[in-house]
Amino acid sequence: MNRVIIFDTTLRDGEQAPGFSMNTMEKLEMARQLARLNVDVVEAGFPISSDEDFEATREVARQVGTLEGAPIVCGLSRVGLADIDRCWEAVKYARRPRIHTFVATSDIHLKYKLRKTRAEVLKAAVDAVKHARAYCADVEFSPEDASRSDFEYMCDVLEAVIDAGATTINIPDTVGYAIPQEWGERIARIRQRVKNVDKAVLSVHCHNDLGQAVANSLVAIMNGARQVECTINGIGERAGNASLEEIVMSLRTRKDFFGIDTQVKTEEIFRASRLLSHITGVHVQPNKAVVGENAFAHEAGIHQDGVLKEKLTYEIMRPQDIGRSSNKLVMGKHSGRHALAARLKDLGFELEGAELDKAFKKFKDLADKKKEVYDDDLIAIVQDEMTHVLETYTLDYLHVISGTSIVPSATIRLSKEGQVFQDSGVGDGPVDAALNAIDAVTGLKGRLLDYQLRAITGGKDAIGEVSVKVDFDGTVVTGKGASTDVIEASARAYVNALNRAVHPVALRVKESGP
């Protein structure tokens, strides 16, 4: 097969990392974008791990996995038969469901974690695959901690699970321990040693603890792997997983070298990256390959000179290849609703009815405040609308007094279920005062753990996007808010977090599918 299967695990391995959790609606939003990106497989969750994860996996299977041309929807399960039953209950709605079952094969894990013998683990793996195959024709098996597993024993397990019906065997570098050359050799040796290896797709799943995840994934492809597991922005346990955008663009840009490609629609990469950052509130570093803010910025004079003369001098990919907008000046305050809808459609957001009305109102407000409205401003407006949180509290009014020689104070009015509540607060600065005023209104004391402010576009009148992480009495939540006024953006982000704390799982899931 001259194509690599892209298995995206942003919603499972990525989401399980601290600070990246997503509710059902957010996972659905992300899954829709992964479908637009045209990944082959979406691993939507680990259904036995919690009711929320079960529900999110099920809804991705129902609402995204049933669409025309939808990706395979996969759920993770340990080898316990009850895990597999639960996993099947969640993924069975998809047109093309997959059960992914795993058990560790390294002696370290067998001795200290599982407290089982090699023979017991081999039997459990075979039983699990047989059990999963009774439900589903598409079953993946992973020998966890493969890079530190005894090679012969791991190959015995792989051979046995393929005989039991596994259709994909995935080799994880669970702790990010492998070095490219040895990892490539290990994959090549598996292909020689496992007799029935041709009956399954060979896959890898690389973690980034030593910064080798993408290199290890690529070297595995060079040695015969035909599926790679990866995540948007490389999110995942600890230092993360292999980054999808880096693998895909390496294969695309260096097709001359690899001679192999994926079916990913690369023009959707940037939007996927931005959506994930927006949902999780975690932005990628500016110098991140492919999707970082500076990935296409040429600062040095000599580079700029070269690029102006001929882009090929310093540019190996074009921003439009990953769907980075030219950030054009799009519209002014006289632009109408149709023009907005059309521009949003070009940017990949199809809004109509009440959603479009809301976005249009926000656009008009913004155009009144800001002379120039750019594509990125529009994206911020729309993504703000798409923040799926039940709005128990809404911000009605904010008044702040601040300066160099007075104690900053703020008055806040919030509405809740038709009633309006007002209070005030003081603080170190205007943001602190506004957040204290919100606490005074709600009677809930939030502890701000993280605060990030980012200008969406350049200029003094840029929209500021604020992401916060707040601890409300042991419930840690994130929140986002955007405005041309950074104090308002901060208050909105805090109220957004507050709404998540009072409704930890936003259940606005449409009942659809079988």
- Shortest distance in whole angstroms from residue 8 CB to ligand KIV: 13
Q: Is residue 381 within 8 Å of 357, Cβ to Cβ? A: no
Q: For ligand KIV, which residue of 23, 57, 142, 243 counts as binding (CB under 6 A)?
A: 142
Only one of the segments 11-19, 20-28, 338-346, 485-493 lies at the binding site for Zn ion (rule: CB under 5 A); that segment is: 11-19
What would the DSSP string read from start to end of 208-246?
-TTS-HHHHHHHHHHTT--EEEEBGGG--STT-B-BHHH
Distance in angstroms (rounded) separating the CA atoms of residues 60 and 191: 34
Spatial distance between the Cα atoms of 125 and 144, rounded to a whole number of angstroms: 11
What number of CA atoms fall less than 13 Å from residue 326's CA on the CB side? 4
DSSP 416-455: ETTEEEEEEEE-SSHHHHHHHHHHHHH---EEEEEEEEEE
Q: Which of residues 244-263 bind Zn ion (CB under 5 A)?
A: none
**Closest CB to ligand KIV among 247 and 351?**
247
Rounded Cα distance between 202 and 142, Å, is 10
| Cα 84 to Cα 87: distance, rounded to the nearest angstrom | 5
Beta carbon of residue 173, minimum distance to ligand KIV (angstroms, whole number): 8
Residue from the set 47, 172, 240, 408 that interacts with ligand KIV by CB under 6 A: 172
Q: Residue 180: which residues within 8 A CB-CB, separation 6 or more?
A: 212, 215, 216, 219
What's the closest the beta carbon of residue 97 comes to Zn ion, in angstroms?
Answer: 21
Q: What residues pair up with 446 in beta bridges, in sequence order?
A: 472
Pick the closer one to ligand KIV by CB: 172 or 408.
172
Task: Tell me the closest approach of the beta carbon of residue 168 to ligand KIV, in angstroms.
Answer: 11
Whole-number Å distance between alpha carbons of 402 and 475: 31
Alpha-carbon distance values, 121 to 165, 245, 470 (Å): 17, 35, 42
Among ligand KIV, Zn ion, none, what does residue 102 contact (CB within 5–8 Å per kind)?
ligand KIV
Shortest reach from residue 456's CB to ligand KIV, in Å: 34
* Segment interacting with ligand KIV (CB under 6 A) among 166-174, 287-295, 334-342, 365-373: 166-174
CA 51 from centre of chain: 20
Phi then psi dihedrals of residue 419, to 5 deg: -105, 150
Residue number, 177 or 349, with CB nearest to Zn ion: 177
Q: Between residues 23 and 147, which has the closer beta carbon with respect to Zn ion?
A: 147
Q: What tokens does 179 get?
A: 């070095």
**Nearer to ligand KIV among residue 13 and residue 465 (C-beta):** 13
Question: How many residues at the interface with ligand KIV, by CB under 6 A?
Answer: 10
Q: Binding marks (x or -) toward Zn ion, 70..109, rule CB under 5 A?
A: ----------------------------------------
* Under rule CB under 6 A, residue 144 binds ligand KIV: yes
Q: How far is the CB of 48 from Zn ion (least distance, A)?
A: 16
Q: How far apart are CA 435 and CA 445, in angstroms?
A: 9
| Shortest Å distance, C-beta 137 to Zn ion | 24
Smallest CA-to-CA distance from 77 within 68, 87, 67, 69 is with 87
Q: H or E segment at 356?
A: helix 353-369
336: left (phi over 0), alpha (psi -120 to 50) or beta: beta
Q: Which does 142 bind (CB under 5 to 8 A by kind): ligand KIV, Zn ion, none?
A: ligand KIV
**Minimum distance between the CB of residue 246 and ligand KIV, rounded to whole angstroms?**
18
Residue of 8, 10, 13, 217 that binds Zn ion (CB under 5 A): 13
490 binds, among ligand KIV, Zn ion, none (CB under 5 to 8 A by kind): none
Of 8, 13, 59, 376, the one binding ligand KIV by CB under 6 A: 13
In the numeric block, the tokens 């009815």 are attached to: 353
Stretch that binds ligand KIV, among 105-113, 168-176, 322-330, 503-511 (CB under 6 A): 168-176
DSSP codes, 364-378? HHHHHH-S-EEHHHH
CB nearer ligand KIV, residue 171 or residue 498: 171
In angstroms, what is the minimal distance from the CB of 205 to Zn ion? Answer: 6
Instruction: Give the list of residues 6+ apart from residue 513 with CB closer than 8 angstroms, or none.
Output: 61, 62, 63, 66, 93
x-or-dash string of contact with ligand KIV, 75-104, rule CB under 6 A: -x-------------------------x--
Q: Does residue 205 touch ligand KIV according to CB under 6 A? A: yes
State which residue, 143 or 464, has the beta carbon closest to ligand KIV. 143
Q: How far is the CB of 47 from Zn ion (least distance, A)?
A: 17
Q: Choose between 6 and 470: whose C-beta lies nearer to ligand KIV.
A: 6
Told to check if 217 binds ligand KIV by CB under 6 A, we report no
Residue with tokens 């929807």: 73
Q: Based on the shown chain and the rule CB under 6 A, indicate whether residue 174 belongs to the binding site for ligand KIV.
A: yes
Size of the site for Zn ion (CB under 5 A): 1
Residue 241 CB, shortest distance to ligand KIV, in Å, is 8
For Zn ion, the binding residues in 160-199 under the rule CB under 5 A are none
Question: Would you say 13 or 59 has its CB closer to Zn ion?
Answer: 13
Of residues 176 and 427, the one with the C-beta less far from ligand KIV: 176
DSSP reduced 3-state for 79? coil
Distance between CA atoms of residues 394 and 492, nearest Å: 8
Q: How many CB atoms lie within 10 A of CB 367?
A: 18
The footprint of ligand KIV (CB under 6 A) covers 13, 76, 102, 142, 144, 170, 172, 174, 205, 207
Binding site for Zn ion (CB under 5 A): 13
